[in-house]
C-alpha cells in the first residue's frame, strides 16, 4: 500500500507551463510548451509543489458530449510510490464527476497499474512507433486538407467532436494537415520528434502510402501512436524501418458514451486521445 503523504493538491495555471514541461521532459515525453499551454488553458490541471518546485501533475481535459481525457500524470522520480499519482487522478475524477463527464486515458504500463485499482477498465491498445531518420527528398509535395473536413472525420472516429483541439493544433507553426487519396493526417511539432496523428484512411495500404509520403517531406524523427488492432498498418511501418517504442492501454472510467463510425490508424497522442 502506498504511504499517503499529506501533500497539498493545487490547481495550476498557464504560468506553470515551463514547470510542467520540465516534468514531461524528465519522463522523456514528447510534449512541448504549446501542449502544456493547451492543457493549462483548456483543461483543469492539478499539481503538487515541494516549496516553489512543481513535483507532480495530472490533467483533466474536457472535450464534448460528456467526455474528457485524463493525462499528463507525472510524478518526479524522488516523489514516486507515495500515493501522489493516485491522489491527483482522484482529483481529476472528482472534477469529472462534478461535471458529469466520462473519463478516458491512454496509460503507460506504469500508469495502468495506478489506474486499474481506481476503477478504470481497459478498452483498445496503442503502439507508439518511431522513425529516427525519415528519407527526406526535397522534391516531394503533398496535398493539404482543410481543418473542417479533418475535424468531421475525427468526430466520426472519436464519436464526439474536439474541434478546439484540432483547430489549435492546426494553427501552430509547423503543423500540417496532409492528404493523399482517401488518407489524411495531422503532423505537428513535438519536443524531440514530429508527431503524425490522428491518421484516417480507408485501408492500411492507403495509410502506409500517406505515411511514406510524409516521411519523404520530413527531416526530424517521427512518432506515430497506432491503434494496435490495425496490424497490417503496424507490420507495414516496422517493415519500413519504424521501431515500436512502447504500448499504451486505453482505459475508460464511467459508462460508454461514444459510438465510433471509423477506426483510425493513428490517434492524436496518448495525452489527447
Ligand X SMILES: CC(C)(COP(=O)(O)OP(=O)(O)OC[C@H]1O[C@@H](n2cnc3c(N)ncnc32)[C@H](O)[C@@H]1OP(=O)(O)O)[C@@H](O)C(=O)NCCC(=O)NCCS
Of 107-115, 122-130, 221-229, 261-269, the window that binds ligand X (rule: CB under 6 A) is: 107-115
Per-residue x/- track, 134-173, ligand X (CB under 6 A)? ----------------------------------------
Instruction: Tell me the β-bridge partners of 222.
Output: 131, 194
Contacts (CB under 6 A) with ligand X, residues 3-32: 27
Report in angstroms how near the CB of residue 97 gets to ligand X at its nearest: 19
Chain residues 48-87 in contact with ligand X, contact rule CB under 6 A: 73-75, 80-86
Q: Which member of 44, 60, 91, 107 binds ligand X (CB under 6 A)?
A: 107
Q: Does 191 bind ligand X (CB under 6 A)?
A: no
Report the residue closest to ligand X, judged by CB.
111
CA 258 to chain centre: 18
| Count of residues of this chain found to bind ligand X when the rule CB under 6 A is applied | 19
**Secondary structure of 27-79 in HEC code, one letter for each residue:** CCCCCCHHHHHHHHHHCEEEEEEECCEEEEEEEEEECCCCEEEEEEEEECHHH
8 Å CB contact between 124 and 226: no
Judged by CB, which is closer to ligand X: 22, or 27?
A: 27
Can residue 267 be called a binding residue for ligand X (CB under 6 A)?
no
Task: Give the number of other Cβ atoms within 10 Å of residue 142's Cβ.
Answer: 17
Pick out residues in 109-128 that bind ligand X (CB under 6 A): 110-111, 113-114
Question: How long is the chain?
Answer: 273
Element (H, E) at 87: helix 84-98
Cβ neighbours, 10 Å, residue 10: 14
Residue 44 C-beta: closest distance to ligand X, Å: 17
Sign of CA dihedral 238, 193, 55, 250: negative
Question: Shortest distance, CB of residue 16 to ligand X, whole angstroms?
Answer: 16
Q: 2 or 263, CB closer to ligand X? A: 2
CA–CA dist 82, 140 (Å, integer): 51
Q: Which is nearer to ligand X, 19 or 240 (CB)?
A: 19
Cβ nearer to ligand X, comparing 113 with 192: 113
Q: Segment contacting ligand X (CB under 6 A): 106-114, 172-180, 223-231, 258-266?
A: 106-114
> Does residue 1 belong to the site contacting ligand X (CB under 6 A)?
yes
Min. distance of Cβ 23 from ligand X in angstroms?
Answer: 8
CB of 211 to ligand X, least distance (A): 25
Other CB atoms within a 10 A radius of the CB of residue 189 amount to: 17
Largest CA-CA distance found in the chain, in angstroms, rounded: 59
Q: Look at phi and psi of residue 255 and say left if phi exceeds 0, alpha if psi is from -120 to 50, else beta.
A: beta
Question: What does the DSSP 8-state code read for residue 82?
Answer: S
Return residues touching ligand X (CB under 6 A): 1-2, 27, 73-75, 80-86, 107-108, 110-111, 113-114
Amino acid at each position: 500500500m502506498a504511504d499517503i503523504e499529506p501533500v497539498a493538491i493545487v490547481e495550476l495555471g498557464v504560468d506553470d507551463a515551463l514547470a510542467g514541461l520540465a516534468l514531461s521532459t524528465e519522463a522523456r515525453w514528447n510534449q512541448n510548451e504549446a501542449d502544456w499551454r493547451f492543457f493549462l488553458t483548456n483543461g483543469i490541471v492539478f499539481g503538487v509543489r515541494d516549496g516553489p518546485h512543481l513535483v507532480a501533475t495530472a490533467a483533466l481535459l474536457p472535450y464534448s458530449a460528456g467526455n474528457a481525457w485524463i493525462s499528463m500524470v507525472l510524478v518526479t522520480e524522488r516523489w514516486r510510490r507515495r500515493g501522489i499519482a493516485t491522489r491527483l487522478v482522484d482529483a481529476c475524477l472528482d472534477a469529472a464527476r462534478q461535471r458529469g463527464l466520462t473519463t478516458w486515458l491512454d496509460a503507460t504500463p506504469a500508469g495502468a497499474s495506478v489506474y486499474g485499482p481506481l476503477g478504470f477498465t481497459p478498452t483498445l491498445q496503442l503502439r507508439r512507433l518511431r522513425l529516427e531518420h525519415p528519407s527526406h527528398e526535397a522534391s516531394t509535395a503533398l496535398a493539404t486538407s482543410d481543418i473542417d473536413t479533418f475535424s468531421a472525420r475525427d468526430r466520426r472516429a472519436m464519436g464526439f467532436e474536439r474541434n478546439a483541439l484540432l483547430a489549435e493544433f492546426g494553427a501552430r507553426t509547423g503543423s500540417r494537415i496532409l492528404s493523399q487519396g482517401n488518407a489524411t493526417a495531422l503532423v505537428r511539432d513535438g519536443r524531440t520528434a514530429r508527431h503524425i496523428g490522428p491518421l484516417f484512411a480507408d485501408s492500411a495500404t492507403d495509410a502506409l502510402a500517406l505515411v511514406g509520403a510524409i516521411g519523404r517531406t520530413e527531416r526530424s524523427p517521427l512518432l506515430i501512436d497506432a491503434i494496435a488492432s490495425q496490424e497490417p498498418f503496424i507490420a507495414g511501418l516496422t517493415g519500413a524501418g519504424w521501431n515500436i517504442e512502447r504500448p499504451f492501454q486505453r482505459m475508460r472510467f464511467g459508462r460508454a458514451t461514444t459510438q465510433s463510425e471509423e477506426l483510425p490508424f493513428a490517434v492524436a497522442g496518448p495525452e489527447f486521445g
